[in-house]
Structure 1
Amino acid sequence: MSNIWIAASDNKLDQVKTLIESKQFNSNSKDPNGYTPIHAAVSYGYIDLLNYLLENGGNINIQDNEGDTPLHHVEDLKIAKYLIEKLKADYKIKNNDGLTAQEFIEEEDEFPEISNYLKSLIHDKPEESNNESKNNSNESNEIKKANEFLESLPEPGKINNGHEIKYSLQSDTTENDENLTNEELQIRRDKIEKILNSENPEEGLRELVTNAVHEGLLSYQQESNDGEDKEEPNLKKQK
């Protein structure tokens, strides 16, 4: 039976399983150079084998005798992204020469696409300035207020003081709201939720309130006009 490093290099998953289950080796077993089956799986791009090794105690950041992690020996961009984005491999670890995986690969000058990808991850996002932090805090408070405002809104379609609750996001008076179904009213409510999840919910809510006032004025004017068509009651005091 071959050793686990050869089996891993040949992608013989069944043999690797047998060797690990026999307790002769484990996922982090090192050869005389500190090379592990995890290094082999990453180097050759064997995803299934790699996942098995990690599920059985493997360390994605394990280092060989030269301090190289599996990421130092990745040869495929897809695998590099998988290690970092899925497996959360630490791309900042340095080997014995003080080189990160990006610096090591760049020095080897064989996989520039991997080097460029890793280079894009090197610099952390700059710390927020006090003003940016304050703005973000204000924005968070506005979103919180907006969410509270949404929760306070009555459900569309319900009757309140003899009036049906309706929401409108535009000042288009040509549409006959009375013909809207509950489903269409719910769509309008969904639009409100989209406003609250937008980049500028405060502006969206301001527009919502403006349109609501506009709709209310139109409704009032319509009722007033309807009243003018009827005979006005005699408000004089009867003698």
Structure 2
Amino acid sequence: MKNEMSPVTSVYFVTLLKAYLRGTKTRNEIIDELQQVAPLSVDQTSDVEVSRLLFQTASQLNKDFYQEIVAEVNHANDTAPTREGVIHQLQALLNNEISTTALYEWATWHNTPAADDEYVFFNDIAVDYFCTQLMPAVKGQLSVPQYEHILHIFQTTPPNGLRDKVALVLLPEQEKQRFLFYLGDYIQGHSTNEQLDVYLLHKFGMDHQSFPYMGELSAIMHAPAKLPALLRMAAMNPPY
């Protein structure tokens, strides 16, 4: 009996699109999948944004697929970038499987004009910060050691969104220096909880009651020499 492929339905494309949006499949992996159902030109695979390429391919097979995919994805609550997705994309980048441009496009897909009317709910505060603040701020232009550091942060177990976000904020050297200055001022008794909150809220979106290192900070009051060790802990410096 002749083997035949099961007919491709819109569900196939919905699954692919969700996998890309969540980050569990990279741009190149999506293209490889699409090549299995329809030939793609060099221009398409190099220049066209992933979701648009997916819609184009789906519409080639069945003109009704476009509306079916849009309807399904618009009502889905599982399309936001995930921690698993961030890890997968970073590993692909560090293995030279995707470019920094591809990583940036994935991390910021919800910031595009086409997504202005879409609300993306992140259930992980660290992933939220990575996608909505860190990557747009640096345009994806970080060094390999910095990307390795970010991967280390997201792979640290057990996951802790608050601590992970603090570590991401502290990635730039200037933020480490600000941390030492403001927290050093506090532990030496030169500023109050309310004054500390101004810094914490501005940089981390937390006050002294939610800042995850307040216990450690209280333990080194009037001992500024111990603050660099707390910084290393908060920055989650890799062991290498």
The answer to whether the superposition gives a TM-score over 0.5 is no
Larger CA Rg, structure 1 vs 2: 1
Give the TM-score normalised by the residue count of structure 2: 0.26
Bigger relative CO (Cα 8 Å, ≥ 6 apart): 2
